[in-house]
A and B are shown apart, each in its own frame.
Chain A
Amino acid sequence: MSDKKAEPYIKFRCKDVRVHYGQNEALHGIDIEIPDNGVTAFIGPSGCGKSTFLRVFNRMNDTIEGARVSGSILMDGEDIYDKNLDPVLLRARVGMVFQKPNPFPKSIYDNVAYGPKIHGLTTSKAEMDHLVEKSLKRAGLWAEVKDRLKSPGTGLSGGQQQRLVIARAIAVSPEVILMDEPASALDPIATAKLEALIDELKERYCIVIVTHSMAQAARISDKTAFFHMGDLVEFGPTEMIFTNPGNSRTQDYITGRTG
């Protein structure tokens, strides 16, 4: 961050992004550039549109009845809302971790292997075993589950489940991982583990995370975007947002006067 000479590579370029749910406009024209390799945090009061905006990047809004997205969203310069682009392929490149851990009610192994299997990423069982192991290792879960890969993923603790879901996302080799309040259902220790993991993963992946915890945003993110009632109020390096916000609404929010 400190060296401003090397312009960071921009992963997503968004111009005038609006999302409607039926008649109701949830996002009122967002312009933002999200850098590659690093953690970008979205903060803001409940209902301001953080989740909605996050779902723009992997087109999960497409699956919501009545949701419409307009504006331009370029990923590596390519319009991800292009008619010819299949959202299925986009979602292989842009993984997602949800607020509530949602492993499949299958074995730990099958949870991780599912993505590679449907995309045909491996050709042999040995290759798959290797990929599952690699993904679980990257998600920091391997040591805990290596002896019980066949037991159900839903039998793990909340924090383990969340890391399993991350392993599941990693297994298809995404470029971006979106996380929507991934730690909100976890206890402090599991949260700390998850944060450490995010810190490691950011070397390899572009991570966008929604969080309600100011402290968490301050700890793990490189850039922070503050949303308020469907608008992007402020976006900049995390240090700056937290120490010297340019907008009074940001100031009020991070100091706890609104929320």
Chain B
Amino acid sequence: MSQIENPETKSKKKKNRKSGKKPHKMTSLHNSEAALLRLKKRRAKEGRFILWGRLAIGFAVASLMWLLFSLVGTGYTAFTQHFITLDVKLEASILDPTDIRDPEKLRAANYRRLIQTSMQAQIEGVTDRKEKRALFNLVSASGATNYVRQKVYKNPNLVGQTLTVTVPTSDEVDQLLKGYIDRETPEARRKVSNQQIEWIDELVDRGVIKPKFNTIFFTGTDSRDPELAGIASAVVGSLMLLSVAFILAFPIGVGAAIYLDEFAPKNKWTDLIEININNLAAVPSIVFGLLGLAVFLNFFGMPRSAPLVGGMVLALRAFPTITIATRAALRSVSPSITNGALSVGASHVQAVFHHKLPLAAPGILTGTIIGMAQVLGETAPLLMIGMVAFVTEIPTSVMEPASALPVQIFLWSDSAERAWSERTSAAIIILLLVLITMNGFAIWLRNKLEKRR
């Protein structure tokens, strides 16, 4: 049928388009001139709307791209860092003049001298005190001394031997070599002196200073020195926050949703509760922080900066999201399934748990993951409960002071130095990657579970 009709309709269209005004055969209601004009208007409206939509999408994509490019542009260099390889003579006369090899004494020894000496071994003819200082400043002071100190503390027998170490250079060297410190700037306004630049270039030529993948950024904790700073403590803190928030918010959120939707009597009270849960989702998160400060810290006297408290506060943030998503998911399950279960004599609870919940699971999981992503990105409430601490150790329990990835970003973004802004961007990249992974996982899970239906 359609094959026969097609050529005719096509030719009709063509004719109309060509002659425009001349409707073929006879003038009827739907191919009069006025009708064609109306049609043109309708088409134009449609065209405008589509254009509008494309502009909106284009704008959104462009902003996203701009954000990503600026982040990656400033952040990617943080994933490599320059390291210097030194031969450190662990002279007994400096480390252990009394020769008793007491680890505690060894720890307190003057490692700075050792590093200085080994630096001077690299560059000959540095005698002036000021020059010596300038030379020493090429290496990460606390990075190098602490590294050697730890080695000796762990193995006192090393004293007297020569240790080859690869330690980070100071952040100025790193920035200079990455091209962020302009060599053309007058020396007085430059953080690296001409002399130092000479030394650095020589050391690079000799292969003493080399760029390497920046593992410190992933294994290190917060530090005062950018070259030693890493996100490990913040990541662990964030994981703890997520776990606490999930353990609290998931059962409460899903339970509240099931009860409200399935079992609660419909009256003014449940309406009120429902409105409040919806409002809770819209409450600015800093308010939760204030609540946590007032209730958990001041009233219950729980420890400051602890992921337990942070997780409890963020559970409040995530639970309305989970509840709302769960209720939407429950409602999207066709009542015919529940009716089927009820009609063979399942109780209401059985119908819900055997049939409705499994079908709602994809929606519930998606909502939960989105709620958890919110938790992961939340900063303000954590500031209120003191999770802005300077944490130089990886926390081992939820009661210990900890930081969180977004808070770490907030803290680092405060420092003006280039080395910090590079790490801030890198940390944001990591956070975004985790968030994208979580959301991607949510979508994947939903598609997978939905296919199983």
Name A residues whose Cβ lies closer than 8 Å to a Cβ of B. Answer: 58, 60, 63, 65, 88-92, 95-96, 98, 100, 102-105, 114-115, 118-119, 154, 165, 168-169, 171-172
Contact = CB atoms under 8 A, between A and B. Distances in A.
B341 A114 contact: yes
B339 interface: yes
B340 A118 contact: no
B340 A98 contact: yes
Interface string B344-367: 111110100011000100000000
Contacts of A90: 345
Interface of B: 266, 334, 336-337, 339-348, 350, 354-355, 359, 453
Nearest to B340: A102
Contact of B345 (A65, A88, A102, A165): A88
A104 B355 contact: yes
Given A65-B266, A104-B355, A105-B359, A114 B344 contact: yes
B266 to A, nearest CB: 7
A150 to B, nearest CB: 14
Contacts of B345: 88-92, 115, 118-119, 172
Contacts of B340: 98, 102-104, 165, 168
Contacts of B266: 65
B342 A60 contact: yes
Contact of A118 (B336, B348, B350): B350
A192 to B, nearest CB: 24
Given A63-B342, A88-B345, A105-B453, 9 more contacts: A88-B346, A91-B344, A92-B344, A96-B339, A103-B340, A104-B355, A114-B346, A168-B344, A169-B344
Nearest to B343: A96
A153 B352 CA distance: 19
A88 B336 CA distance: 17
Most buried by B among A65, A100, A102, A165: A102
B343 A104 contact: no
Nearest to B348: A63
A173 to B, nearest CB: 11
Contacts of A100: 336
Interface of chain A, main secondary structure? helix
A102 B339 contact: yes
Given A65-B266, A118-B350, A102 B344 contact: no
Nearest to A172: B344
A164 B266 CA distance: 35
Nearest 5 interchain pairs by C-beta: A92-B345, A115-B344, A102-B336, A96-B343, A91-B345
Contacts of A92: 344-345
Nearest to A99: B336
A103 B343 CA distance: 12
Contacts of B334: 102
Contact of A88 (B337, B339, B347): B347
Contacts of A172: 344-345
25 contacts: A58-B343, A60-B339, A60-B343, A63-B339, A65-B266, A91-B343, A91-B345, A92-B345, A95-B343, A95-B344, A98-B339, A98-B340, A98-B343, A102-B337, A104-B341, A104-B355, A105-B359, A114-B344, A114-B354, A115-B346, A118-B346, A118-B354, A165-B340, A169-B343, A169-B344
Nearest to B350: A118
A75 to B, nearest CB: 15
Contacts of B359: 105
Contacts of B355: 104
A172 B346 CA distance: 11
A236 B266 CA distance: 42
A215 B246 CA distance: 59
Contact of A98 (B336, B346, B354): B336
B339 A104 contact: no
